[in-house]
């Protein structure tokens, strides 16, 4: 905890590290490039160091630097072919590049049977993008944004979106209407509800003027009617869809702007941002979908912060309880909130940080939540494995538009409606 909040700023500095402890400290603090060089130093002295090889590959994967990630994760697997973490990271590396068949043996080695079966059944080119640009108006903003989509050419369905989720998911009813057939199924548990999860492949998914074809999709239903959770929408769009596009989450304009991520489109976004005086922020992706960038919380200085676009809720940010205490953030312990996180019950408390900052976007004296059970560093496989001071949530972004560029791993946030 002390290392996360009281460490030196994440920018600048020429720190060197030659031991695992020093390299891991750099990684935990979000100094990923420095950590990568430190792991390389270790490997030069000891090419058999599994931890250094795996971590160096992970550093590359966080920034979508696929050749780097593949090189070092392959090195790790030569040292330990059955290492579950290295296999999971390399499997993720391949699916981010739509090399699904190459990912299958790594999911098998990692014990991820559903992924292995699912991606083995995905024939042809996945996530084929048709159309160049489209704008999708939000049908509602709160408690979370919803948009109309078409599934396999059918009538409009209301879907939510959330970068805290991975794949494209939908209700069992929508899946049946679309004629989907599972290639694999398994029992699961979601917030105390016994569910059956199904995995299949969708022919067509339309969002405004953009159509995606041959898309991995998941749907689920309760084992019994009494066990069914409440229905909030027809489906959920996760990060896997968005990282195949150049997407602007136009909160101020209450719409999504979706573009084919061509070099020309990416260049134009960068040029428009520069003309508007908007600086590119770094973007990292962990656990195949979780987004993070550099921000600050209540005077913390620049820190790695989660970026949760979409989703439901009234909070502007969330944080571990220890962060709130150390930063002296006013917390209302008299008003506990019974909620859940990642399918598990928890109790959070309202808190009110004086300032939150992401680039030039600022929120002052806002409503947030702190979770006393949330560690600042959630290790693999349940978290990113580095220190994360907190996260920006749905309501933080309302005055802004946010563009995520997964080609160069940049995030742009600007006040007002997008052009």
In order, the DSSP letters of 20-71 are HHHHHHHHHTT-HHHHHHHHHHHHHH-TT-HHHHHHHHHHHHHTT-HHHHHH
Cα angle 37, 40, 45; round to 5:
135
Q: How many residues does the chain have?
A: 419
The ranges of the chain annotated as CATH 2.40.70.10 are 128-244, 272-415
Which residues are registered as beta bridge partners of 222?
A: 195
Cα pseudo-dihedral 180, 186, 188, 194, rounded to 10: 80
Fold of the domain built from segment(s) 2-120? 1.25.40
The pLDDT value given to residue 124: 84
The pLDDT value given to residue 228: 54
291 vs 404: CA distance, rounded Å: 10
Burial group, residue 377, by CB count within 10 angstroms (0-12, 13-18, 19+)? middle
Nearest-10 crossing angle of helices 100-110, 84-96: 160
Dihedral-angle region of residue 409 (phi above 0 means left; psi in -120 to 50 means alpha; beta otherwise): left
Q: Which two tokens stand for residue 243?
A: 């990282």
CATH of 272-415, one of 2.40.33.10, 3.60.20.30, 2.60.40.10, 2.40.70.10: 2.40.70.10
The closest of 381, 207, 204, 196 to 288, measured between CA atoms, is 381
The pLDDT value given to residue 346: 86
DSSP assignment of 59-110 equals: HHHHTT-HHHHHHHHHHHHHH-TT-HHHHHHHHHHHHHTT-HHHHHHHHHHH
The pLDDT value given to residue 343: 61
Cα pseudo-dihedral 4, 282, 378, 102, rounded to 10: -150
The pLDDT value given to residue 340: 73
The pLDDT value given to residue 30: 96
| Other CB atoms within 10 A of residue 116 CB | 20
The pLDDT value given to residue 222: 81
The pLDDT value given to residue 8: 41
| Other CB atoms within 10 A of residue 143 CB | 14
Q: What is the pLDDT along the chain (419 residues), one digit of tens a residue?
A: 334 443 444 444 444 546 889 999 999 999 999 999 999 999 999 999 999 999 999 999 999 999 999 999 999 999 999 999 999 999 999 999 999 999 999 999 999 999 999 999 998 899 999 999 999 999 999 999 999 999 999 999 999 999 999 999 999 999 999 999 999 999 877 666 788 999 999 999 999 999 999 999 999 988 665 555 566 789 999 999 999 999 999 999 999 999 999 999 999 999 999 999 999 999 999 999 999 999 999 999 999 999 999 999 999 999 999 999 999 999 999 999 988 765 678 899 999 999 999 999 999 999 999 999 999 999 988 899 999 999 999 999 999 999 999 999 999 999 999 98
409 vs 62: CA distance, rounded Å: 9
The ranges of the chain annotated as CATH 1.25.40.10 are 2-120
CATH of domain 128-244: 2.40.70.10
Give 317's Cβ-side CA count (13 Å radius). 30
The pLDDT value given to residue 383: 92
């Amino acid at each position: 905890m002390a290392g996360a909040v009281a460490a030196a700023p994440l920018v600048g500095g020429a720190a060197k590290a030659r031991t695992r402890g020093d390299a891991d400290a750099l990684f935990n603090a979000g100094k990923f490039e420095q950590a990568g060089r430190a792991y390389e130093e270790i490997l030069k002295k000891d090419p058999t160091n599994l931890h250094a090889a795996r971590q160096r590959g992970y550093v590359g994967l966080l920034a979508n630097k696929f050749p780097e990630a593949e090189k070092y994760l392959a090195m790790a697997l030569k040292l330990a072919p059955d290492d579950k973490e290295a296999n999971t990271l390399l499997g993720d590396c391949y699916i981010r590049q739509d090399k699904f068949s190459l990912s299958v043996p790594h999911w098998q080695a990692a014990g991820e049977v559903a992924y292995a079966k699912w991606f083995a059944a995905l024939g042809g080119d996945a996530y084929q993008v048709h159309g160049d640009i489209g704008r999708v108006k939000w049908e509602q903003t709160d408690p979370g944004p919803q948009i109309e989509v078409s599934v396999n050419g059918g009538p409009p369905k209301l879907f939510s979106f959330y970068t805290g989720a991975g794949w494209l998911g939908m209700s069992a009813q929508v899946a049946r209407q679309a004629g989907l057939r599972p290639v694999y199924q398994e029992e699961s548990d979601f917030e105390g509800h016994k569910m059956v999860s199904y995995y299949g492949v969708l022919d067509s998914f339309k969002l405004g003027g953009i159509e995606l074809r041959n898309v991995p999709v998941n749907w689920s239903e309760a084992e019994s009617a009494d066990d069914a959770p409440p229905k909030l929408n027809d489906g959920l769009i996760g990060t896997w869809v968005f990282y195949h596009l150049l997407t602007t989450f136009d909160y101020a304009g209450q719409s999504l702007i979706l573009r084919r991520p061509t070099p020309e489109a990416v260049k134009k976004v960068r040029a428009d941002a520069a003309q508007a005086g908007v600086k590119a922020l770094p973007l990292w992706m962990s656990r195949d979908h979780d987004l993070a960038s550099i921000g600050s919380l209540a005077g913390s200085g620049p820190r790695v912060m989660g970026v949760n676009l979409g989703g439901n809720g009234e909070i502007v940010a969330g944080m571990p309880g220890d962060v709130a205490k150390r930063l002296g953030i006013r917390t209302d312990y008299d008003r506990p909130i019974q909620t859940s996180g990642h399918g598990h019950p928890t109790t959070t408390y309202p808190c009110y940080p004086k300032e939150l900052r992401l680039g030039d976007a600022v929120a002052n004296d806002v409503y947030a939540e702190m979770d006393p059970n949330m560690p600042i560093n959630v290790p693999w496989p349940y978290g990113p494995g580095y220190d994360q001071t907190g996260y920006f949530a749905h309501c933080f972004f309302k005055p802004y538009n946010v563009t995520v560029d997964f080609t160069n791993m940049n995030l742009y946030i600007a006040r007002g409606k997008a052009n």
